[in-house]
Amino acid sequence: REEKELDLTSPEVVTKYKSAAEIVNKALQLVVKECKPKTKIVDICEKGDAFIREQTGNMYKNAKRKIERGVAFPTCLSVNNTVCHFSPLASDTSELQEGDMVKIDMGCHIDGFIAVVAHTHVVQEGLVNDRKADVIAAADTAAEVALRLVRPGKKNKDVTDAIQKVAAAYDCKIVEGVLSHQLKQFVIDGNKVILSVSNPDTRVDDAEFEENEVYAVDIVASTGEGKPKLLDEKQTTIYKRAVDKNYHLKMKTSRFIFSEINQKFPILPFTARALEEKRARLGLVECVNHDLLQPYPVLHEKPGDYVAHIKFTVLLMPNGSDRITLHPLQKLQPTKTIDDPEIKGWLALGTKTKKKGGGKKKKGKKNEGDKADAEPMDASKTDAAAS
């Protein structure tokens, strides 16, 4: 690694973030299309990961040094009252059903520069209404407010308070225990964090956002109490190597699995699907028990509750905040509307800082149908051309 930490002051770094974002946005588009009744969840997760591996594999093939690239967070599909991290093993037979509310969560990286995204999709044609629409609107509006408050000079607790206020306006709760992290090269959970819900049990250091930082803003809203529980440890399939921990494993299977993890997934989260299933089941337990791996547990709200998840990656550029990952929502008809002047005020804030002079940005040509997920990429190209 170079001595100097690479950040957004380097145009090459910005390009890598945006390339990773472009791939993960397209992967998300593909996954949403696959979310149909009677489709196996594991098959959709596999397709998402395979697409990211294939697309990143085509980049930087002839670079002078080896550039790591691929999945930064395995594709997860968490349904209805399941909150997060459901990415089942190959032997799992769960299928999507008509009307299911699916949270899709995934990430891509190029040279350790990570773009993550989460999106909520209801498996149905036409308008989404009632409480399903309320909870999606709550998560999405909270994300829009967070985008405007994660900016240089603002504090992490400003965001925490604001997103809770937005969720309350839709008679929903922000789910506890979810953290939004600063992203750095090969670091998916940086030290600067935004707490979703402030309570006595979870404390984080006060932090101020600064220019040239990157954040994964992670919003999970629920029609329930927002206090999810772990029901079955066996559902956990996503882990991350705890780089600072060492322990001499006793079991041969554990040592075998751990050496495979060190080779293939030394830093970023991975799914146990990528390992040989029987061995993995045995070996992972000892690794987790001795803190060599950090598990990403599958959490649940109560049956009948709906949970929505929106996550995006934002670059705090000198000319304003650039949200590089997103996907358009289905048409929603919530039962609530936002009347609160403070929330309306937040939503009215711009995300760009005005530059002196400078004409209108030209729109780049794009073959993708979705303007929303292509826009930031084009704007950056025309910017770069202009500067």
Q: From the first residue on, what is the mean pLDDT of each consecutive set of 10 residues in the chain (387 residues)?
A: 76 97 98 98 98 96 91 98 96 97 98 98 96 98 97 95 97 96 96 90 89 98 97 95 92 94 95 88 93 97 98 96 97 95 95 59 40 32 34
How far apart CA 298 and CA 232 sit, in angstroms, is: 8
Q: Is the pTM of this model over 0.85?
A: yes
Residue 39: count of CB within 10 angstroms of its CB: 16
pLDDT of residue 25: 98
The CATH code that applies to domain 11-236+297-348 is 3.90.230.10
Task: Tell me if residue 268 falls in helix, strand or coil.
Answer: coil
Closest CA to 41 of 102, 107, 120, 96: 96
| Domain residue limits, the chain | 11-236+297-348, 237-296
CA angle 273–274–278, rounded 5-degree value: 60
b/e per residue, 105-122, with b = 16+ CB within 10 A?
bbbbbbbbbbbbbbbbbb
C-alpha closest to that of 116 among 200, 170, 190: 190
Interval 334-366: pLDDT, tens: 999 999 999 999 999 998 876 544 444 444 433
Which among 88, 135, 77, 128 has a CA at the least distance from the CA of 304?
135
- Predicted confidence at residue 249, as pLDDT, reads 95
The phi and psi torsions of 321 (rounded to 5 degrees) equal -85, 135
Question: Using an 8 Å Cβ cutoff, are 267 and 186 in contact?
Answer: yes
Name the residue type at position 217: V
Alpha-carbon gap, residue 322 to 351, rounded angstroms: 7
The pLDDT assigned to 355 comes to 54
Domain 237-296 CATH class label: mainly alpha
For the residues of 98-135, what is the DSSP string, one character each?
A: TT-EEEEEEEEEETTEEEEEEEEEESSSS-EEHHHHHH
d(CA 267, CA 303): 35
Torsion of CA 264, 270, 275, 280, to 10 degrees: 120
